[in-house]
Protein backbone atom coordinates (compact mmCIF):
# COMPACT_ATOMS: atom_id res chain seq x y z
CA UNK A 1 0.00 0.00 0.00
CA UNK A 2 2.90 2.34 0.75
CA UNK A 3 4.03 2.30 -2.88
CA UNK A 4 0.69 3.85 -3.89
CA UNK A 5 1.38 6.90 -1.72
CA UNK A 6 4.89 7.13 -3.16
CA UNK A 7 3.49 6.90 -6.68
CA UNK A 8 1.00 9.71 -6.06
CA UNK A 9 3.85 11.81 -4.68
CA UNK A 10 5.85 11.20 -7.85
CA UNK A 11 3.03 12.33 -10.12
CA UNK A 12 2.31 15.36 -7.98
CA UNK A 13 5.96 16.42 -8.03
CA UNK A 14 6.23 15.90 -11.80
CA UNK A 15 3.12 18.02 -12.44
CA UNK A 16 4.49 21.01 -10.56
CA UNK A 17 8.20 20.73 -11.34
CA UNK A 18 9.25 19.29 -7.97
CA UNK A 19 11.85 16.63 -7.19
CA UNK A 20 10.60 13.14 -8.00
CA UNK A 21 11.56 10.53 -5.41
CA UNK A 22 12.14 6.94 -6.53
CA UNK A 23 12.19 4.08 -4.00
CA UNK A 24 14.44 1.28 -5.24
CA UNK A 25 12.69 -1.56 -3.40
CA UNK A 26 9.37 -0.51 -4.95
CA UNK A 27 10.70 -0.26 -8.51
CA UNK A 28 8.45 -2.95 -10.00
CA UNK A 29 5.29 -1.52 -8.43
CA UNK A 30 6.16 2.06 -9.34
CA UNK A 31 7.01 1.14 -12.93
CA UNK A 32 3.77 -0.79 -13.28
CA UNK A 33 1.60 2.00 -11.88
CA UNK A 34 3.20 4.66 -14.06
CA UNK A 35 2.70 2.55 -17.17
CA UNK A 36 -0.87 1.49 -16.37
CA UNK A 37 -1.93 4.99 -15.30
CA UNK A 38 -0.42 6.72 -18.34
CA UNK A 39 2.01 8.86 -16.33
CA UNK A 40 5.30 7.17 -17.19
CA UNK A 41 6.58 9.78 -19.62
CA UNK A 42 5.59 12.50 -17.16
CA UNK A 43 7.47 11.00 -14.21
CA UNK A 44 10.40 9.14 -15.78
CA UNK A 45 12.43 12.11 -17.15
CA UNK A 46 12.93 13.46 -13.62
CA UNK A 47 14.05 10.01 -12.42
CA UNK A 48 16.59 9.37 -15.17
CA UNK A 49 18.99 11.95 -13.74
CA UNK A 50 19.28 10.03 -10.46
CA UNK A 51 22.43 7.95 -9.98
CA UNK A 52 20.98 5.08 -7.96
CA UNK A 53 18.58 3.84 -10.64
CA UNK A 54 19.65 0.48 -12.18
CA UNK A 55 20.73 0.68 -15.84
CA UNK A 56 18.06 -1.79 -16.95
CA UNK A 57 15.31 0.27 -15.31
CA UNK A 58 16.65 3.43 -16.94
CA UNK A 59 16.52 1.72 -20.33
CA UNK A 60 12.84 0.90 -19.77
CA UNK A 61 12.10 4.49 -18.80
CA UNK A 62 13.99 5.91 -21.78
CA UNK A 63 12.10 3.60 -24.13
CA UNK A 64 8.75 4.82 -22.76
CA UNK A 65 9.75 8.49 -23.07
CA UNK A 66 11.15 8.03 -26.58
CA UNK A 67 8.06 6.17 -27.74
CA UNK A 68 5.81 8.92 -26.36
CA UNK A 69 7.89 11.63 -28.03
CA UNK A 70 7.94 9.86 -31.41
CA UNK A 71 4.21 9.21 -31.18
CA UNK A 72 3.62 12.89 -30.39
CA UNK A 73 5.55 13.99 -33.48
CA UNK A 74 3.66 11.50 -35.66
CA UNK A 75 0.29 12.60 -34.28
CA UNK A 76 1.16 16.27 -34.72
CA UNK A 77 1.96 15.68 -38.39
CA UNK A 78 -1.34 13.86 -38.96
CA UNK A 79 -3.23 16.56 -37.07
CA UNK A 80 -1.76 19.23 -39.35
CA UNK A 81 -2.91 17.28 -42.44
CA UNK A 82 -6.43 16.73 -41.08
CA UNK A 83 -6.83 20.30 -39.83
CA UNK A 84 -5.63 21.82 -43.09
CA UNK A 85 -7.97 19.64 -45.16
CA UNK A 86 -11.04 20.45 -43.05
CA UNK A 87 -10.45 24.19 -42.96
CA UNK A 88 -9.78 24.31 -46.71
CA UNK A 89 -13.12 22.55 -47.20
CA UNK A 90 -14.83 25.33 -45.26
CA UNK A 91 -15.36 23.17 -42.16
CA UNK A 92 -14.73 24.62 -38.71
CA UNK A 93 -13.28 21.89 -36.46
CA UNK A 94 -12.54 22.15 -32.74
CA UNK A 95 -9.71 20.08 -31.25
CA UNK A 96 -10.70 18.03 -28.22
CA UNK A 97 -8.44 16.38 -25.60
CA UNK A 98 -5.07 15.13 -26.91
CA UNK A 99 -2.72 17.82 -28.13
CA UNK A 100 -4.83 20.62 -26.69
CA UNK A 101 -4.34 19.21 -23.18
CA UNK A 102 -0.72 18.23 -23.80
CA UNK A 103 0.02 21.93 -24.33
CA UNK A 104 -0.76 22.50 -20.64
CA UNK A 105 1.99 20.15 -19.42
CA UNK A 106 5.54 21.18 -18.40
CA UNK A 107 6.81 19.30 -21.48
CA UNK A 108 3.93 18.78 -23.98
CA UNK A 109 5.73 16.13 -26.03
CA UNK A 110 5.84 13.81 -23.02
CA UNK A 111 2.08 13.79 -22.34
CA UNK A 112 0.75 10.54 -23.77
CA UNK A 113 -2.07 10.81 -26.30
CA UNK A 114 -3.17 8.17 -28.74
CA UNK A 115 -5.67 9.64 -31.19
CA UNK A 116 -7.00 12.85 -32.72
CA UNK A 117 -10.49 14.01 -31.71
CA UNK A 118 -12.06 16.69 -33.90
CA UNK A 119 -15.51 18.07 -33.15
CA UNK A 120 -17.41 19.30 -36.21
CA UNK A 121 -21.04 19.10 -35.01
CA UNK A 122 -24.09 17.58 -36.65
CA UNK A 123 -24.36 20.01 -39.56
CA UNK A 124 -20.76 19.53 -40.70
CA UNK A 125 -20.52 15.85 -39.81
CA UNK A 126 -21.04 14.19 -43.19
CA UNK A 127 -18.96 16.71 -45.21
CA UNK A 128 -16.17 16.35 -42.63
CA UNK A 129 -16.21 12.55 -42.88
CA UNK A 130 -16.05 12.78 -46.67
CA UNK A 131 -13.13 15.23 -46.44
CA UNK A 132 -11.19 12.87 -44.17
CA UNK A 133 -11.70 9.96 -46.56
CA UNK A 134 -10.48 12.08 -49.46
CA UNK A 135 -7.47 13.34 -47.48
CA UNK A 136 -6.46 9.86 -46.32
CA UNK A 137 -7.56 7.54 -49.18
CA UNK A 138 -5.54 4.59 -47.85
CA UNK A 139 -6.86 4.84 -44.30
CA UNK A 140 -8.65 1.99 -42.59
CA UNK A 141 -12.22 3.19 -42.25
CA UNK A 142 -15.83 2.30 -41.60
CA UNK A 143 -18.23 2.25 -44.55
CA UNK A 144 -20.96 4.02 -42.58
CA UNK A 145 -21.27 7.30 -40.72
CA UNK A 146 -24.58 6.75 -39.02
CA UNK A 147 -26.37 9.59 -37.28
CA UNK A 148 -26.70 7.72 -34.01
CA UNK A 149 -22.91 7.37 -33.68
CA UNK A 150 -21.03 9.75 -31.43
CA UNK A 151 -18.22 9.94 -33.98
CA UNK A 152 -16.86 8.53 -37.23
CA UNK A 153 -13.47 6.85 -37.03
CA UNK A 154 -10.70 6.15 -39.49
CA UNK A 155 -7.07 5.13 -39.01
CA UNK A 156 -4.63 7.07 -41.16
CA UNK A 157 -1.00 5.95 -41.18
CA UNK A 158 -1.55 4.26 -37.83
CA UNK A 159 -3.27 7.28 -36.25
CA UNK A 160 -6.90 7.09 -35.19
CA UNK A 161 -8.90 10.18 -36.21
CA UNK A 162 -12.33 10.60 -34.66
CA UNK A 163 -14.73 13.04 -36.33
CA UNK A 164 -17.31 13.94 -33.69
CA UNK A 165 -21.00 14.75 -34.20
CA UNK A 166 -21.28 15.21 -30.44
CA UNK A 167 -18.71 15.32 -27.67
CA UNK A 168 -20.39 13.04 -25.12
CA UNK A 169 -23.18 10.48 -25.51
CA UNK A 170 -25.81 10.97 -22.80
CA UNK A 171 -28.46 8.42 -21.80
CA UNK A 172 -31.18 10.36 -20.00
CA UNK A 173 -33.32 12.34 -22.51
CA UNK A 174 -33.23 15.49 -20.38
CA UNK A 175 -29.44 15.21 -20.09
CA UNK A 176 -29.22 14.96 -23.89
CA UNK A 177 -31.19 18.20 -24.35
CA UNK A 178 -29.39 20.12 -21.62
CA UNK A 179 -25.94 19.02 -22.64
CA UNK A 180 -26.60 19.88 -26.30
CA UNK A 181 -27.10 23.51 -25.27
CA UNK A 182 -23.90 23.48 -23.21
CA UNK A 183 -21.97 21.92 -26.08
CA UNK A 184 -23.32 24.46 -28.56
CA UNK A 185 -22.20 27.30 -26.30
CA UNK A 186 -18.76 25.86 -25.60
CA UNK A 187 -17.92 25.01 -29.19
CA UNK A 188 -19.30 28.18 -30.76
CA UNK A 189 -17.04 30.20 -28.44
CA UNK A 190 -13.91 28.11 -29.04
CA UNK A 191 -10.52 29.77 -28.58
CA UNK A 192 -7.31 29.69 -30.65
CA UNK A 193 -4.28 27.72 -29.47
CA UNK A 194 -0.85 27.47 -31.13
CA UNK A 195 0.62 23.97 -31.42
CA UNK A 196 4.11 23.96 -32.91
CA UNK A 197 3.18 26.63 -35.44
CA UNK A 198 -0.30 25.28 -36.15
CA UNK A 199 -3.20 27.41 -34.94
CA UNK A 200 -6.13 25.28 -33.84
CA UNK A 201 -9.36 25.95 -31.98
CA UNK A 202 -10.04 24.43 -28.56
CA UNK A 203 -13.29 24.55 -26.53
CA UNK A 204 -14.20 27.59 -24.42
CA UNK A 205 -12.49 27.08 -21.00
CA UNK A 206 -15.59 26.53 -18.84
CA UNK A 207 -17.06 24.04 -21.28
CA UNK A 208 -13.66 22.41 -21.76
CA UNK A 209 -13.44 21.81 -18.00
CA UNK A 210 -16.90 20.24 -18.07
CA UNK A 211 -16.09 18.11 -21.11
CA UNK A 212 -12.74 16.82 -19.79
CA UNK A 213 -14.47 15.93 -16.54
CA UNK A 214 -17.33 14.19 -18.38
CA UNK A 215 -14.88 12.22 -20.52
CA UNK A 216 -13.07 11.13 -17.36
CA UNK A 217 -16.35 10.13 -15.71
CA UNK A 218 -17.50 8.33 -18.86
CA UNK A 219 -14.38 6.17 -18.64
CA UNK A 220 -15.00 5.48 -14.97
CA UNK A 221 -18.50 4.28 -15.82
CA UNK A 222 -17.25 1.96 -18.54
CA UNK A 223 -13.72 0.85 -19.35
CA UNK A 224 -11.97 2.50 -16.43
CA UNK A 225 -10.14 5.82 -16.20
CA UNK A 226 -6.50 6.47 -15.34
CA UNK A 227 -4.64 9.05 -13.27
CA UNK A 228 -3.38 10.88 -16.35
CA UNK A 229 -6.96 11.97 -17.06
CA UNK A 230 -7.13 13.49 -13.58
CA UNK A 231 -3.80 15.20 -14.28
CA UNK A 232 -5.36 16.67 -17.44
CA UNK A 233 -8.21 18.17 -15.43
CA UNK A 234 -5.80 19.44 -12.78
CA UNK A 235 -3.67 21.38 -15.26
CA UNK A 236 -6.71 22.61 -17.20
CA UNK A 237 -8.25 24.13 -14.07
CA UNK A 238 -4.88 25.60 -13.08
CA UNK A 239 -4.14 27.09 -16.50
CA UNK A 240 -7.63 28.59 -16.97
CA UNK A 241 -8.29 29.44 -13.32
CA UNK A 242 -9.20 33.06 -14.10
CA UNK A 243 -11.15 32.27 -17.27
CA UNK A 244 -13.53 29.63 -15.92
CA UNK A 245 -17.01 30.88 -15.08
CA UNK A 246 -17.65 29.12 -11.78
CA UNK A 247 -21.33 30.00 -11.59
CA UNK A 248 -22.01 28.66 -15.05
CA UNK A 249 -19.96 25.52 -14.38
CA UNK A 250 -21.89 24.87 -11.16
CA UNK A 251 -25.19 25.44 -12.95
CA UNK A 252 -24.21 22.99 -15.69
CA UNK A 253 -23.08 20.34 -13.22
CA UNK A 254 -26.30 20.62 -11.25
CA UNK A 255 -28.36 20.35 -14.43
CA UNK A 256 -26.59 17.08 -15.26
CA UNK A 257 -26.82 15.77 -11.65
CA UNK A 258 -23.02 15.71 -11.48
CA UNK A 259 -22.22 18.32 -8.85
CA UNK A 260 -21.65 15.60 -6.25
CA UNK A 261 -19.28 13.61 -8.49
CA UNK A 262 -17.40 16.79 -9.44
CA UNK A 263 -16.73 17.62 -5.79
CA UNK A 264 -15.39 14.12 -5.18
CA UNK A 265 -12.97 14.61 -8.09
CA UNK A 266 -11.96 18.02 -6.75
CA UNK A 267 -10.95 16.26 -3.55
CA UNK A 268 -8.52 14.10 -5.54
CA UNK A 269 -7.14 17.05 -7.48
CA UNK A 270 -6.47 19.09 -4.35
CA UNK A 271 -5.47 16.47 -1.78
CA UNK A 272 -3.53 14.10 -4.04
CA UNK A 273 -2.39 16.10 -7.08
CA UNK A 274 -1.71 19.45 -5.46
CA UNK A 275 -4.16 21.74 -7.24
CA UNK A 276 -4.53 24.90 -5.09
CA UNK A 277 -7.96 24.78 -3.37
CA UNK A 278 -8.85 28.23 -4.73
CA UNK A 279 -8.46 26.85 -8.27
CA UNK A 280 -10.77 23.88 -7.65
CA UNK A 281 -14.40 25.07 -8.06
CA UNK A 282 -16.65 23.40 -5.51
CA UNK A 283 -13.83 21.85 -3.49
CA UNK A 284 -15.04 20.83 -0.05
CA UNK A 285 -13.29 18.82 2.67
CA UNK A 286 -16.39 16.73 3.57
CA UNK A 287 -15.91 14.92 0.24
CA UNK A 288 -12.36 13.86 1.15
CA UNK A 289 -13.29 10.32 2.25
CA UNK A 290 -15.10 9.51 -0.99
CA UNK A 291 -12.29 11.14 -2.96
CA UNK A 292 -9.76 8.89 -1.24
CA UNK A 293 -11.96 5.85 -1.88
CA UNK A 294 -12.29 6.66 -5.58
CA UNK A 295 -8.56 7.31 -6.02
CA UNK A 296 -7.57 4.13 -4.19
CA UNK A 297 -9.96 2.04 -6.26
CA UNK A 298 -8.70 3.72 -9.44
CA UNK A 299 -5.07 2.87 -8.67
CA UNK A 300 -5.95 -0.69 -7.73
CA UNK A 301 -7.88 -1.25 -10.93
CA UNK A 302 -11.27 -1.48 -9.25
CA UNK A 303 -12.97 1.42 -11.06
CA UNK A 304 -13.87 -0.70 -14.05
CA UNK A 305 -17.34 -1.82 -15.10
CA UNK A 306 -17.73 -5.51 -14.16
CA UNK A 307 -17.71 -7.99 -17.01
CA UNK A 308 -21.02 -9.57 -17.93
CA UNK A 309 -21.84 -12.35 -15.51
CA UNK A 310 -23.00 -14.56 -18.37
CA UNK A 311 -23.52 -14.47 -22.12
CA UNK A 312 -26.51 -12.47 -23.35
CA UNK A 313 -29.52 -14.62 -24.33
CA UNK A 314 -30.40 -14.90 -28.04
CA UNK A 315 -34.06 -14.12 -27.44
CA UNK A 316 -34.61 -10.39 -28.17
CA UNK A 317 -36.61 -9.52 -25.05
CA UNK A 318 -34.44 -11.60 -22.75
CA UNK A 319 -31.30 -10.06 -24.27
CA UNK A 320 -32.54 -6.52 -23.66
CA UNK A 321 -33.50 -7.41 -20.09
CA UNK A 322 -30.04 -8.92 -19.59
CA UNK A 323 -28.35 -5.74 -20.86
CA UNK A 324 -30.46 -3.52 -18.62
CA UNK A 325 -29.71 -5.72 -15.62
CA UNK A 326 -25.96 -5.43 -16.26
CA UNK A 327 -26.23 -1.64 -16.53
CA UNK A 328 -28.20 -1.43 -13.29
CA UNK A 329 -25.44 -3.41 -11.60
CA UNK A 330 -22.98 -0.82 -12.87
CA UNK A 331 -25.09 1.97 -11.35
CA UNK A 332 -24.98 0.09 -8.04
CA UNK A 333 -21.18 0.00 -8.28
CA UNK A 334 -21.05 3.79 -8.61
CA UNK A 335 -23.12 4.27 -5.45
CA UNK A 336 -20.07 4.10 -3.18
CA UNK A 337 -18.64 7.22 -4.85
CA UNK A 338 -21.85 9.19 -5.44
CA UNK A 339 -25.22 7.91 -4.21
CA UNK A 340 -27.04 10.82 -5.85
CA UNK A 341 -25.57 10.13 -9.29
CA UNK A 342 -26.22 6.41 -8.91
CA UNK A 343 -29.92 7.22 -8.47
CA UNK A 344 -29.90 9.44 -11.55
CA UNK A 345 -28.03 6.79 -13.50
CA UNK A 346 -30.59 4.17 -12.49
CA UNK A 347 -33.47 6.34 -13.70
CA UNK A 348 -31.69 6.94 -17.02
CA UNK A 349 -31.06 3.21 -17.50
CA UNK A 350 -34.71 2.37 -16.82
CA UNK A 351 -35.96 5.03 -19.23
CA UNK A 352 -33.50 3.97 -21.91
CA UNK A 353 -34.29 0.31 -21.32
CA UNK A 354 -38.01 0.83 -21.77
CA UNK A 355 -37.41 2.81 -24.95
CA UNK A 356 -35.09 0.16 -26.40
CA UNK A 357 -37.56 -2.56 -25.46
CA UNK A 358 -40.15 -1.00 -27.77
CA UNK A 359 -37.69 -0.05 -30.52
CA UNK A 360 -36.40 -2.15 -33.37
CA UNK A 361 -32.95 -3.62 -33.07
CA UNK A 362 -30.14 -1.62 -34.66
CA UNK A 363 -28.16 -3.81 -36.98
CA UNK A 364 -24.84 -3.01 -35.28
CA UNK A 365 -25.92 -4.13 -31.82
Residue 328 confidence (pLDDT): 74
pLDDT digits (tens, 9 = 90+) for 300-348: 877 655 555 566 666 655 666 556 667 777 778 788 888 888 888 888 7
Average pLDDT, integer, range 101-120: 92
pTM above 0.75, yes or no: yes
Mean of all residue pLDDT scores within the chain:
88
**Is 78 a residue whose pLDDT tops 50?**
yes
Higher model confidence: residue 328 or residue 10? Answer: 10
Residue 167 confidence (pLDDT): 96
Cβ-based neighbours of 289, under 8 Å, separated by 6 or more: none
Could you state, in order of their start, the residue ranges of all structural domains in the chain?
204-304, 316-358
**Is 355 a residue whose pLDDT tops 70?**
no
Whole-angstrom CA distances from 139 to 72, 143, 158, 364 are 19, 12, 8, 22
pLDDT digits (tens, 9 = 90+) for 193-203: 999 999 999 99
- Please tell me the distance from the alpha carbon of residue 309 to that of residue 32, in angstroms, as a whole number: 28
**Is 362 a residue whose pLDDT tops 50?**
no
Residue 363 confidence (pLDDT): 40
Amino acid sequence: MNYIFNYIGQVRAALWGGEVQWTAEQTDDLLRLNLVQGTGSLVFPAVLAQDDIPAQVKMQMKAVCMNTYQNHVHLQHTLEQAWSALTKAGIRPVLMKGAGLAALYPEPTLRQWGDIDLFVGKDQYHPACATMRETFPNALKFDEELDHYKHYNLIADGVSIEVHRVTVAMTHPLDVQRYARMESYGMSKSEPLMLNGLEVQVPEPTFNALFVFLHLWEHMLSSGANLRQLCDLTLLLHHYAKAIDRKRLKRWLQALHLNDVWRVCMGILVEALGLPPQEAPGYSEPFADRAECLLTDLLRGRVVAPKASKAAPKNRLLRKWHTMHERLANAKRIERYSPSYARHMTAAILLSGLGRLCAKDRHWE
